[in-house]
Amino acid sequence: MPTIVHMDRISPELKEIFLAVLPPGFRLVTPEEPQWEVELTATRYLTVNTAPVTAAVMDRAPRLRLIHKLGAGYDNIDVAAASRRGIIVARTPGANKVSVAELVFGLALSLYRHLPALAAETRAGEWNMWRHRPYCYELAGKRLGLVGLGDIGRAVAERALAFEMEVVYYRRHPLPPEETPGIRAVSLPELLRTSDIVSLHIPLTAETRGLIGAAELRSMKPSAILINTARGSIVDEAALLTALREGWIAGAALDVVAEPPLPATSPLLALPNFLCTPHVGAATRDADTRVLKTAYANIERVERGEEPLNVVNRPAVQA
Protein backbone atom coordinates (compact mmCIF):
# COMPACT_ATOMS: atom_id res chain seq x y z
CA MET A 1 0.00 0.00 0.00
CA PRO A 2 1.60 3.33 -1.03
CA THR A 3 2.25 5.82 1.74
CA ILE A 4 1.96 9.61 1.62
CA VAL A 5 4.21 11.32 4.17
CA HIS A 6 3.21 14.81 5.27
CA MET A 7 5.99 17.12 6.46
CA ASP A 8 4.12 19.46 8.83
CA ARG A 9 2.72 18.67 12.25
CA ILE A 10 -1.06 18.96 12.17
CA SER A 11 -3.81 18.92 14.77
CA PRO A 12 -6.11 15.91 15.20
CA GLU A 13 -8.98 17.98 13.79
CA LEU A 14 -6.98 18.88 10.69
CA LYS A 15 -5.83 15.31 10.26
CA GLU A 16 -9.48 14.27 10.02
CA ILE A 17 -9.76 16.46 6.91
CA PHE A 18 -6.61 14.90 5.45
CA LEU A 19 -7.98 11.41 6.03
CA ALA A 20 -11.49 12.23 4.79
CA VAL A 21 -10.22 12.87 1.26
CA LEU A 22 -7.31 10.40 1.24
CA PRO A 23 -7.59 8.20 -1.88
CA PRO A 24 -8.54 4.55 -1.30
CA GLY A 25 -5.52 2.28 -1.07
CA PHE A 26 -3.18 4.97 0.32
CA ARG A 27 -1.83 5.48 3.84
CA LEU A 28 -1.08 8.84 5.45
CA VAL A 29 1.74 9.37 7.94
CA THR A 30 2.34 12.66 9.76
CA PRO A 31 5.19 13.80 12.04
CA GLU A 32 3.19 13.17 15.22
CA GLU A 33 3.41 9.43 14.58
CA PRO A 34 6.44 7.53 15.91
CA GLN A 35 7.00 5.70 12.60
CA TRP A 36 7.23 8.96 10.60
CA GLU A 37 11.03 8.84 10.26
CA VAL A 38 10.97 5.23 9.09
CA GLU A 39 8.16 5.89 6.61
CA LEU A 40 10.06 8.87 5.19
CA THR A 41 12.89 6.60 4.08
CA ALA A 42 10.52 4.42 2.04
CA THR A 43 7.89 6.83 0.72
CA ARG A 44 7.46 7.89 -2.89
CA TYR A 45 5.15 10.81 -2.08
CA LEU A 46 5.65 13.84 0.16
CA THR A 47 3.15 16.61 0.87
CA VAL A 48 4.06 19.84 2.61
CA ASN A 49 2.61 23.15 3.75
CA THR A 50 5.33 25.37 5.24
CA ALA A 51 7.98 22.95 6.55
CA PRO A 52 11.33 23.22 4.75
CA VAL A 53 12.05 20.45 2.26
CA THR A 54 15.82 20.62 1.92
CA ALA A 55 18.37 18.51 0.12
CA ALA A 56 19.04 16.78 3.44
CA VAL A 57 15.38 15.81 3.74
CA MET A 58 15.43 14.40 0.22
CA ASP A 59 18.53 12.38 0.99
CA ARG A 60 16.60 10.72 3.82
CA ALA A 61 13.93 9.69 1.29
CA PRO A 62 15.83 7.90 -1.50
CA ARG A 63 12.66 6.50 -3.13
CA LEU A 64 10.92 9.88 -3.35
CA ARG A 65 9.25 10.59 -6.69
CA LEU A 66 6.96 13.55 -6.00
CA ILE A 67 6.93 16.49 -3.57
CA HIS A 68 3.54 18.19 -3.57
CA LYS A 69 3.18 21.68 -2.10
CA LEU A 70 -0.26 22.18 -0.54
CA GLY A 71 -0.45 25.74 -1.82
CA ALA A 72 0.89 27.92 -4.61
CA GLY A 73 4.20 29.30 -3.32
CA TYR A 74 7.02 26.76 -3.09
CA ASP A 75 9.95 28.78 -1.75
CA ASN A 76 10.25 26.34 1.20
CA ILE A 77 11.25 23.55 -1.23
CA ASP A 78 14.75 23.25 -2.66
CA VAL A 79 13.56 22.74 -6.23
CA ALA A 80 17.07 22.61 -7.66
CA ALA A 81 18.00 19.81 -5.27
CA ALA A 82 14.83 17.94 -6.23
CA SER A 83 15.61 18.28 -9.93
CA ARG A 84 19.13 16.93 -9.42
CA ARG A 85 17.64 13.88 -7.71
CA GLY A 86 14.99 13.28 -10.37
CA ILE A 87 12.16 14.29 -8.01
CA ILE A 88 9.13 16.11 -9.40
CA VAL A 89 7.84 19.14 -7.49
CA ALA A 90 4.19 20.11 -8.00
CA ARG A 91 1.87 22.63 -6.40
CA THR A 92 -1.83 23.49 -6.12
CA PRO A 93 -2.31 26.93 -7.70
CA GLY A 94 -5.73 28.46 -7.31
CA ALA A 95 -7.12 25.93 -4.87
CA ASN A 96 -6.88 28.34 -1.93
CA LYS A 97 -7.48 31.59 -3.82
CA VAL A 98 -10.95 32.21 -2.40
CA SER A 99 -9.81 31.89 1.21
CA VAL A 100 -6.83 34.19 0.70
CA ALA A 101 -8.86 36.74 -1.24
CA GLU A 102 -11.54 36.84 1.43
CA LEU A 103 -8.91 37.38 4.13
CA VAL A 104 -7.57 40.38 2.20
CA PHE A 105 -10.93 42.08 2.63
CA GLY A 106 -11.22 40.97 6.22
CA LEU A 107 -7.89 42.65 6.94
CA ALA A 108 -8.77 45.74 4.91
CA LEU A 109 -12.08 46.18 6.69
CA SER A 110 -10.47 45.55 10.07
CA LEU A 111 -8.05 48.42 9.46
CA TYR A 112 -10.53 50.72 7.74
CA ARG A 113 -13.19 50.25 10.45
CA HIS A 114 -10.85 49.81 13.46
CA LEU A 115 -12.55 46.53 14.29
CA PRO A 116 -9.83 45.12 16.63
CA ALA A 117 -9.88 48.28 18.76
CA LEU A 118 -13.66 48.51 18.80
CA ALA A 119 -14.03 44.87 19.82
CA ALA A 120 -11.43 45.21 22.58
CA GLU A 121 -12.98 48.41 23.93
CA THR A 122 -16.46 46.90 23.92
CA ARG A 123 -15.16 43.81 25.72
CA ALA A 124 -13.63 46.17 28.31
CA GLY A 125 -17.00 47.80 28.97
CA GLU A 126 -16.61 50.86 26.75
CA TRP A 127 -19.27 51.82 24.22
CA ASN A 128 -17.39 54.08 21.82
CA MET A 129 -19.91 54.92 19.11
CA TRP A 130 -18.11 58.12 18.14
CA ARG A 131 -14.43 57.78 19.03
CA HIS A 132 -13.23 56.12 15.83
CA ARG A 133 -15.77 57.54 13.40
CA PRO A 134 -13.53 60.33 11.98
CA TYR A 135 -10.91 57.70 11.10
CA CYS A 136 -13.14 55.04 9.53
CA TYR A 137 -13.57 54.63 5.78
CA GLU A 138 -15.56 52.72 3.19
CA LEU A 139 -13.99 50.50 0.56
CA ALA A 140 -16.32 51.84 -2.12
CA GLY A 141 -14.66 54.46 -4.27
CA LYS A 142 -11.13 53.65 -3.09
CA ARG A 143 -8.32 52.56 -5.39
CA LEU A 144 -6.96 49.08 -4.77
CA GLY A 145 -3.48 48.41 -6.11
CA LEU A 146 -2.59 44.77 -6.66
CA VAL A 147 1.10 43.93 -6.87
CA GLY A 148 0.84 40.71 -8.85
CA LEU A 149 -2.12 39.29 -10.74
CA GLY A 150 -2.05 35.53 -10.49
CA ASP A 151 -4.95 33.35 -9.36
CA ILE A 152 -5.21 35.06 -5.97
CA GLY A 153 -4.73 38.57 -7.33
CA ARG A 154 -7.51 37.98 -9.85
CA ALA A 155 -9.81 36.68 -7.10
CA VAL A 156 -9.12 39.81 -5.06
CA ALA A 157 -9.80 42.01 -8.09
CA GLU A 158 -13.17 40.36 -8.75
CA ARG A 159 -14.26 40.96 -5.17
CA ALA A 160 -12.95 44.50 -5.15
CA LEU A 161 -15.12 45.37 -8.15
CA ALA A 162 -18.13 44.08 -6.22
CA PHE A 163 -17.15 46.49 -3.43
CA GLU A 164 -17.27 49.28 -6.07
CA MET A 165 -13.53 49.88 -5.84
CA GLU A 166 -11.24 51.05 -8.62
CA VAL A 167 -8.64 48.35 -9.29
CA VAL A 168 -5.19 48.74 -10.79
CA TYR A 169 -2.41 46.19 -10.92
CA TYR A 170 1.30 45.89 -11.53
CA ARG A 171 2.81 42.93 -13.33
CA ARG A 172 6.15 42.68 -15.08
CA HIS A 173 4.32 41.55 -18.21
CA PRO A 174 0.85 43.17 -18.26
CA LEU A 175 -2.00 41.12 -19.60
CA PRO A 176 -4.08 42.12 -22.65
CA PRO A 177 -6.91 44.44 -21.58
CA GLU A 178 -9.52 41.98 -22.82
CA GLU A 179 -8.26 39.48 -20.23
CA THR A 180 -8.61 41.92 -17.34
CA PRO A 181 -12.01 43.60 -17.72
CA GLY A 182 -12.65 46.37 -15.24
CA ILE A 183 -9.03 46.71 -14.13
CA ARG A 184 -5.92 48.24 -15.70
CA ALA A 185 -2.17 47.85 -15.54
CA VAL A 186 0.08 50.61 -14.19
CA SER A 187 3.72 50.89 -13.23
CA LEU A 188 4.74 49.96 -9.69
CA PRO A 189 5.65 53.56 -8.79
CA GLU A 190 2.25 54.79 -9.98
CA LEU A 191 0.46 52.01 -8.12
CA LEU A 192 2.22 52.82 -4.87
CA ARG A 193 1.78 56.57 -5.26
CA THR A 194 -1.94 56.54 -6.08
CA SER A 195 -3.51 53.51 -4.34
CA ASP A 196 -5.53 53.73 -1.14
CA ILE A 197 -4.90 50.04 -0.43
CA VAL A 198 -1.85 48.15 -1.68
CA SER A 199 -2.15 44.35 -1.59
CA LEU A 200 0.76 42.04 -2.37
CA HIS A 201 0.25 38.87 -4.44
CA ILE A 202 3.67 37.88 -5.79
CA PRO A 203 6.01 34.97 -5.08
CA LEU A 204 9.20 35.40 -3.08
CA THR A 205 12.17 35.50 -5.45
CA ALA A 206 15.54 37.20 -5.51
CA GLU A 207 13.87 40.10 -7.34
CA THR A 208 10.91 40.48 -4.96
CA ARG A 209 12.77 40.08 -1.66
CA GLY A 210 12.58 43.47 0.08
CA LEU A 211 10.56 44.90 -2.82
CA ILE A 212 8.55 47.08 -0.44
CA GLY A 213 11.19 49.05 1.43
CA ALA A 214 11.61 52.55 2.80
CA ALA A 215 11.51 54.30 -0.57
CA GLU A 216 8.36 52.47 -1.62
CA LEU A 217 6.59 53.10 1.68
CA ARG A 218 7.50 56.80 1.57
CA SER A 219 5.98 57.04 -1.89
CA MET A 220 2.58 55.82 -0.69
CA LYS A 221 -0.27 58.07 0.43
CA PRO A 222 -0.26 58.98 4.15
CA SER A 223 -3.83 57.62 4.19
CA ALA A 224 -2.91 54.33 2.48
CA ILE A 225 -2.76 50.87 4.00
CA LEU A 226 -0.55 47.92 3.04
CA ILE A 227 -1.72 44.30 3.09
CA ASN A 228 0.60 41.33 2.64
CA THR A 229 -0.83 37.82 2.31
CA ALA A 230 1.98 36.65 0.00
CA ARG A 231 5.43 36.15 1.58
CA GLY A 232 6.86 38.01 4.55
CA SER A 233 10.27 38.87 3.12
CA ILE A 234 8.73 40.92 0.32
CA VAL A 235 8.32 43.69 2.90
CA ASP A 236 11.21 45.31 4.77
CA GLU A 237 9.75 45.06 8.28
CA ALA A 238 12.20 47.54 9.80
CA ALA A 239 11.15 50.11 7.22
CA LEU A 240 7.51 49.26 7.82
CA LEU A 241 7.93 49.88 11.55
CA THR A 242 9.30 53.35 10.84
CA ALA A 243 6.59 54.04 8.27
CA LEU A 244 3.82 53.20 10.74
CA ARG A 245 5.42 55.07 13.63
CA GLU A 246 6.07 58.22 11.61
CA GLY A 247 2.84 58.20 9.62
CA TRP A 248 4.23 57.58 6.15
CA ILE A 249 1.20 55.30 5.73
CA ALA A 250 -1.95 54.90 7.79
CA GLY A 251 -1.76 51.19 8.56
CA ALA A 252 -0.59 47.73 7.61
CA ALA A 253 -1.86 44.16 7.94
CA LEU A 254 0.45 41.19 7.55
CA ASP A 255 -0.61 37.57 7.34
CA VAL A 256 3.02 36.63 6.68
CA VAL A 257 6.28 37.77 8.27
CA ALA A 258 9.92 37.32 7.34
CA GLU A 259 10.75 35.04 10.27
CA PRO A 260 7.66 33.42 11.77
CA PRO A 261 6.41 33.44 14.38
CA LEU A 262 6.42 37.17 15.04
CA PRO A 263 7.57 37.41 18.69
CA ALA A 264 5.30 38.98 21.26
CA THR A 265 8.08 41.50 21.91
CA SER A 266 8.02 42.79 18.32
CA PRO A 267 7.60 46.58 18.37
CA LEU A 268 5.18 46.24 15.45
CA LEU A 269 2.63 44.58 17.74
CA ALA A 270 2.61 47.62 20.01
CA LEU A 271 1.34 49.85 17.21
CA PRO A 272 -2.41 50.55 16.98
CA ASN A 273 -2.24 50.80 13.18
CA PHE A 274 -0.72 47.36 12.71
CA LEU A 275 -2.54 44.04 12.43
CA CYS A 276 -0.95 40.61 12.16
CA THR A 277 -2.42 37.15 11.62
CA PRO A 278 -0.40 33.89 11.72
CA HIS A 279 -0.29 32.93 8.01
CA VAL A 280 -3.94 31.87 7.89
CA GLY A 281 -4.80 33.12 4.41
CA ALA A 282 -5.51 29.60 3.18
CA ALA A 283 -6.58 28.27 6.56
CA THR A 284 -10.20 27.31 6.00
CA ARG A 285 -11.77 23.88 5.93
CA ASP A 286 -13.04 24.63 2.42
CA ALA A 287 -9.59 25.51 1.08
CA ASP A 288 -7.89 22.60 2.84
CA THR A 289 -10.35 20.18 1.27
CA ARG A 290 -9.84 21.59 -2.24
CA VAL A 291 -6.05 21.68 -1.91
CA LEU A 292 -5.83 18.12 -0.60
CA LYS A 293 -8.14 16.74 -3.28
CA THR A 294 -5.99 18.42 -5.94
CA ALA A 295 -2.72 17.12 -4.47
CA TYR A 296 -4.02 13.61 -3.90
CA ALA A 297 -5.41 13.41 -7.43
CA ASN A 298 -1.95 14.30 -8.71
CA ILE A 299 -0.36 11.62 -6.55
CA GLU A 300 -2.81 9.09 -7.99
CA ARG A 301 -1.78 10.16 -11.48
CA VAL A 302 1.88 9.47 -10.70
CA GLU A 303 0.99 6.14 -9.09
CA ARG A 304 -0.75 5.16 -12.34
CA GLY A 305 2.33 6.14 -14.34
CA GLU A 306 0.78 9.32 -15.73
CA GLU A 307 2.25 12.83 -15.91
CA PRO A 308 1.33 15.00 -12.90
CA LEU A 309 -0.22 18.44 -13.28
CA ASN A 310 1.05 21.81 -12.05
CA VAL A 311 4.70 20.78 -12.11
CA VAL A 312 7.27 23.47 -11.28
CA ASN A 313 10.41 21.59 -12.40
CA ARG A 314 11.37 19.13 -15.10
CA PRO A 315 13.96 16.71 -13.72
CA ALA A 316 15.90 15.01 -16.49
CA VAL A 317 15.64 11.60 -14.88
CA GLN A 318 12.85 10.62 -12.50
CA ALA A 319 13.64 8.49 -9.46
pLDDT band at residue 317 under the 50/70/90 scheme: low
315: in domain: no
How large is the average pLDDT for residues 141-146?
98
Question: Is the pLDDT at 142 greater than 70, yes or no?
Answer: yes
Q: Give residue-wise pLDDT tens across range 295-307.
A: 999 999 999 999 9
Q: Give residue-wise pLDDT tens across range 48-69.
A: 999 999 999 999 999 999 999 9
- Examine the domain organization and report whether 87 and 219 are in the same domain: no
- Examine the domain organization and report whether 122 and 55 are in the same domain: no
- Examine the domain organization and report whether 66 and 172 are in the same domain: no
pLDDT band at residue 315 under the 50/70/90 scheme: confident
Gap between the Cα atoms of 211 and 224, Å rounded = 17
311: in domain: no
- Examine the domain organization and report whether 124 and 139 are in the same domain: yes
- Examine the domain organization and report whether 101 and 247 are in the same domain: yes
How large is the average pLDDT for residues 153-175?
97
317: in domain: no
Q: Which three-class secondary structure string do you get for the chain?
A: CCEEEECCCCCHHHHHHHHHCCCCCCEEECCCCCCHHHHHHHCCEEEECCCCECHHHHHCCCCCCEEEECCCCCCCECHHHHHHCCCEEECCCCCCHHHHHHHHHHHHHHHHCCHHHHHHHHHCCCCCCCCCHHHCCCCCCCEEEEECCCHHHHHHHHHHHHCCCEEEEECCCCCCHHHCCCEEECCHHHHHHHCCEEEECCCCCCCCCCCECHHHHHHCCCCCEEEECCCHHHECHHHHHHHHHHCCCCEEEECCCCCCCCCCCCHHHHCCCEEECCCCCCCCHHHHHHHHHHHHHHHHHHHCCCCCCCECCCCCCCC
- Examine the domain organization and report whether 239 and 118 are in the same domain: yes
Task: Give the CATH number of the domain where residue 156 resides.
Answer: 3.40.50.720
- Examine the domain organization and report whether 299 and 151 are in the same domain: no
- Output the pLDDT for position 319: 45
Question: Is the pLDDT at 287 greater than 60, yes or no?
Answer: yes
198: in domain: yes
313: in domain: no
Number of domains forming the structure of the chain: 2
- Examine the domain organization and report whether 217 and 258 are in the same domain: yes
Q: Give residue-wise pLDDT tens across range 196-231.
A: 999 999 999 999 999 999 999 999 999 999 999 999
135: in domain: yes
> What percentage of residues in the chain have a pLDDT greater than 70?
99
Q: Give residue-wise pLDDT tens across range 248-286.
A: 999 999 999 999 999 999 999 999 999 999 999 999 999
272: in domain: yes
Q: How far is CA 118 from the centre of its chain?
A: 27
- Examine the domain organization and report whether 112 and 200 are in the same domain: yes
| Residue pair 69/94 in contact by the 8 Å Cβ criterion | no
- Examine the domain organization and report whether 22 and 134 are in the same domain: no
- Examine the domain organization and report whether 37 and 170 are in the same domain: no
Question: Is the pLDDT at 89 greater than 80, yes or no?
Answer: yes
- Examine the domain organization and report whether 101 and 91 are in the same domain: no
Range of the domain at 179: 97-276
Q: What is the mean pLDDT of the chain?
A: 96
| Residue pair 225/250 in contact by the 8 Å Cβ criterion | yes
59: in domain: yes
